[in-house]
Amino acid sequence: MAYTTTPSQARYTDPYEQTIFEFSDGKMYLPKAANRLLNLIGTDLVIKGMEMSSPTINGSDTIETTIAAGWAIQDETLIQFSTSSTVDIDCSGLTDTTTFGSHLAVFLNYENIHTIEPNLAAVDIFHVESTGVVTDLFGRFRTRSCRILLGIINFTRSGSTVTECSINASPTLLVSGQTYYVRGLNPDNINVPDLFKVAFKNEREYLLKRDYLMSE
């Protein structure tokens, strides 16, 4: 069983992946505040790759899926996964989609915090009831760290046997009282369409005024 997987990765920049500058007789680290530049793009969203594969049934009761390598921004940190991540979960005792409206949900699990050891991002799979309650047998689900929903899975059980599973095409899922958008594609999280307005506000106003005066 691999309900969580920690793939090969690089994080730009966290306390353990910061650029080091030689300065005088010492070293100077790039401030964490530099990460806020990522907000020009957006927050808590996949920016490339990280697609979820069609789930498969292993044995009679376990569902498995794989998240491809890719890039994401979570908690003001740019994360690159250079390898895929395979996770699975035993569904023999879990309520299914067909009868109870439950689903499986795959999350990117990461929080930018200062710890003694490097704090690595992981891919986790959870069972989510129709009410949004998370079945968290290993105590890993936290809304502050499980910010990006990578995919939703439907499944059907007959007794303790899983008979069918598939990707759920819905763009959202209620989890722990919050509406999550698949791959973080919540319009409120994405600033790219307004990048020029956000990054060059003063220059934009100047150009608009200049064009107006020149048209007179």
Task: Please state, in angstroms and rounded to a whole number, the distance separating the CA atoms of residues 55 and 36.
Answer: 35
Buried b / exposed e along 180-213 (16+ C-beta atoms within 10 A): bbbbbebeebbbeeeeeeeeeeeeeeeeeeeeee
Question: Among 23-27, 126-130, 153-157, 162-166, which is the least confidently predicted range?
Answer: 23-27
Cβ(175)–Cβ(127) under 8 Å? no
Residue 25 CA from chain centroid, whole number:
40
Give the single-character DSSP code of 37. Answer: G
- Global pTM? 0.78
Task: Please state, in angstroms and rounded to a whole number, the distance separating the CA atoms of residues 11 and 124.
Answer: 18
Give the pLDDT confidence of 38-79 residue by residue, as tens digits.
Answer: 777 888 999 999 999 999 999 999 999 999 999 999 988 889
pLDDT > 80? residue 12: no
Give the pLDDT confidence of 71-101 residue by residue, as tens digits.
Answer: 999 988 889 999 999 999 999 999 999 999 9
Q: 3-state SS of the chain: helix, strand, coil percent to 5?
A: 20, 45, 40
The domain limits of the chain are: 4-185
Task: Please state, in angstroms and rounded to a whole number, the distance separating the CA atoms of residues 118 and 110.
Answer: 11
Residue in the block written with tokens 């069983």: 1
Give the pLDDT confidence of 108-153 residue by residue, as tens digits.
Answer: 999 988 666 777 899 999 999 999 999 998 899 999 999 999 999 9
Specify the higher pLDDT residue, 92 or 206: 92
Q: Name the token pair of 58.
A: 């292993």
Q: Name the token pair of 68.
A: 């491809």
> What pLDDT shows up at residue 64?
97
> What pLDDT shows up at residue 186?
87
> What pLDDT shows up at residue 214?
60
> What pLDDT shows up at residue 170?
95
34-39 average pLDDT score: 69
Cβ(108)–Cβ(49) under 8 Å? no
> What pLDDT shows up at residue 177?
95
Q: For 197, what's the count of Cα atoms within 13 Å in the CB-facing half-sphere? A: 4
* Radius of gyration from C-alpha coordinates of the chain: 21
Task: Please state, in angstroms and rounded to a whole number, the distance separating the CA atoms of residues 46 and 44.
Answer: 7
pLDDT > 80? residue 16: no
